[in-house]
């Protein structure tokens, strides 16, 4: 592939026509809201992704927890989503084409296209782990049962994502109403205990329960933990804003879709979970930071059986997201590995998902979110700077490998991943990865390390 010739996947790309686009409340907002209503996200909100600090984000009280959540939600919208969404809206092109401006026509195959596909199997592993754990409550929480369920769950989702996503899409619109209804019910049950919540007592109970030392987090620590957790979870979906944006009619649709579907949905889902955990502790004094478990829900409802049914319903509602992750991964692999049978590439990915689930690695949500944030934080940062340097438009495909993009990603990824692989303390690592990616791309671009922009063929009606 010559550096001066556009590859077919770029030259043959056709913008999504205006006639195929719809208002924000019909596509972007409900789809993003469904992501945040996934119980794996909001169930981790009180603990901040299971980071281990006694009291999690509630260590300084409900006000500090909600403040951190507001800041994290706004960062997701303004820093990670808006520019990709505008790029998609203005070009009508998908992420793997738009990304060639930041990473080059050759580099664009790998970044962000192939990387997006690889990380989707990480999400499939997370989905399989938590869904199988929820269902296994019907089998006495047997380790064998949840591992078998995890294997079947991941394999089924991968198959449907590869062959039959259109059928899942028909019910995916309504299934997010299940976790929303469960959140509303639990919030109603725990609201009376919120006034009796004591953050110091929660930290003390968490210290005893977890054997942790050092007490709870400071207010700044709570805010940084919220940013780490929420931004890490959202990073890939932020870059995917390009694909959402190509279905938006105008800039207003892009921004409203994000404000409602991302910022507001984050506050509703994660905020409700935080209030539920606080209210439950205020009422019972029992330390429990995951509101999605069968035991927690059964305790609130006064029936262990009801708790198990609610956990099962949350798992059922999580199946379409598992299929969508597989669908995105399959499309990515079909594009980047066209000569490999998709059953083979997706099968290998599903095998990795199963391994992550049955070993319990996928259950370490905080670590998973750190990897996601480290991988796509610098992608979103570099894309934002590329967009503004080009005069708030898509610069166009760049030849070969764009050095500025790849170097900014590599350094940003290292910064984002350091807290997971070393003892280094990097506050809000996914946000730090974004900042490093953005700043370094700007410096390298000004130093002349951006690739040559190639001319796109004129769009045909």
Whether pLDDT at 459 is above 90: no
Which residues, including other chains, have CB under 8 Å from residue 449's CB and lie 6 or more apart?
A: 403, 404, 407
Could you give the dihedral angle defined by the CA atoms of residues 350, 351, 353 and 354, in that order, rounded to the nearest 10 degrees?
120
Q: Which residues pair with 398 in a beta bridge?
A: 453
Asked whether the predicted pLDDT for residue 216 surpasses 90, the reply is no
* Confidence grade of residue 461 (pLDDT, cut at 50, 70, 90): very low
Counting residues of the chain whose pLDDT is more than 70, the rounded percentage is 95
Q: Which of 233, 244, 287 is nearest to 49 (CA)?
A: 233
Q: Is 248 helix (H, G, I), strand (E, B) or coil?
A: strand
- Which comes out higher in pLDDT, residue 76 or 137? 76
pLDDT tens-digit map of 235-251: 999 999 998 999 999 99
Question: What pLDDT does residue 213 have?
Answer: 57
Q: What's the CA gap between 458 and 461, in Å, rounded?
A: 10
pLDDT band at 53 (very low <50, low <70, confident <90, very high): confident
Residue 294, classed as helix, strand or coil, is: helix
**In contact, 383 and 100? CB cutoff 8 Å:** no
Query: What residues have CB less than 8 Å from 432, skipping those under 6 apart?
Result: 377, 415, 416, 426
- The pLDDT tens digits for 110-122 are 888 788 888 999 9
Which residue bears the tokens 């399959």?
A: 330
CB 90 within 8 A of CB 207: no
Assigned token pair, 12 = 């043959």
Angle value at C-alpha 361, between 375 and 307, nearest 5 degrees = 115
Count CB neighbours of 374 within 10 A: 27
Distances in whole angstroms, Cα of residue 25 to Cα of each of 17, 249, 268, 360: 19, 12, 17, 37
Domain boundaries defined on the chain: 23-446
Whether 169 has a pLDDT exceeding 80, the answer reads no
Q: Nearest-CA neighbor of 399 among 113, 115, 100, 98?
A: 100
The CATH number of 23-446 is: 1.10.4160.10
Q: How far apart are CA 385 and CA 120, in angstroms?
A: 25
Task: Compute the distance between CA of residue 332 and CA of residue 170 in angstroms, rounded to an integer.
Answer: 22
The overall pTM is greater than 0.95 = no
């Amino acid at each position: 592939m010559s550096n001066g010739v556009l590859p077919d996947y770029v030259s043959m790309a056709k913008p999504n026509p205006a006639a195929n686009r719809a208002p924000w409340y019909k596509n972007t907002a409900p789809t993003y809201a469904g992501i945040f209503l996934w119980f794996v996200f909001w169930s981790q909100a009180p603990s901040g992704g299971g980071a281990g600090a006694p009291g999690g984000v509630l260590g300084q009280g409900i006000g500090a927890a909600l403040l951190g959540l507001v800041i994290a939600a706004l960062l997701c919208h303004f820093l990670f989503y808006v520019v990709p969404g505008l790029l998609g809206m203005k070009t009508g092109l998908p992420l793997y084409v738009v990304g060639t401006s930041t990473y080059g026509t050759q580099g664009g195959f790998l970044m962000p296209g192939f990387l997006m596909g690889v990380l989707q199997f990480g999400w499939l592993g997370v989905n399989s782990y938590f869904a199988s754990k929820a269902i296994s409550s019907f089998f006495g929480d047997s380790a064998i049962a949840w591992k078998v369920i995890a294997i079947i769950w991941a394999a089924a989702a991968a198959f449907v994502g590869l062959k039959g996503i259109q059928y899942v899409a028909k019910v995916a619109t309504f299934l997010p109403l299940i976790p929303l209804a469960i959140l509303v019910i639990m919030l109603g049950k725990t609201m009376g205990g919120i006034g009796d919540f004591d953050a110091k007592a929660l930290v003390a109970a968490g210290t005893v329960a977890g054997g942790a030392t050092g007490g709870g987090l400071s207010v700044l620590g709570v805010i940084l933990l919220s940013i780490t957790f929420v931004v890490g979870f959202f990073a890939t979906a932020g870059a995917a804003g390009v694909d959402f944006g190509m279905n938006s009619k105008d800039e207003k649709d892009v921004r409203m879709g994000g404000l409602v579907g991302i910022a507001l949905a984050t506050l509703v889902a994660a905020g409700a979970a935080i209030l539920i955990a606080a209210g439950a502790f205020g009422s019972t004094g029992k330390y429990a930071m995951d509101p999605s478990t069968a035991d927690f829900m059964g305790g609130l409802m006064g029936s262990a059986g009801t708790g198990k049914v609610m956990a099962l319903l949350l798992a059922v509602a999580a199946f379409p997201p598992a299929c969508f992750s597989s669908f995105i991964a399959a499309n990515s692999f079909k594009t980047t590995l066209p000569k490999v049978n998709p059953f083979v590439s997706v099968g290998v990915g599903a095998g990795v998902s199963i391994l992550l689930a049955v070993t319990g690695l996928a259950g370490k949500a905080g670590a998973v979110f750190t990897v996601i944030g480290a991988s796509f934080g610098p992608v979103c940062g570099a894309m934002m700077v590329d967009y503004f340097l080009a005069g708030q438009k898509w610069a166009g495909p760049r030849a070969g490998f764009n050095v500025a993009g790849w170097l900014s990603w590599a350094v940003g990824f290292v910064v984002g991943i350091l807290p997971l692989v070393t003892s280094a303390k990097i506050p809000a690592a996914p946000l730090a990865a974004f900042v490093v990616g953005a700043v370094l791309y700007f410096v390298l671009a000004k130093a002349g390390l951006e690739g040559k922009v190639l001319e796109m063929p004129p769009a045909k009606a």
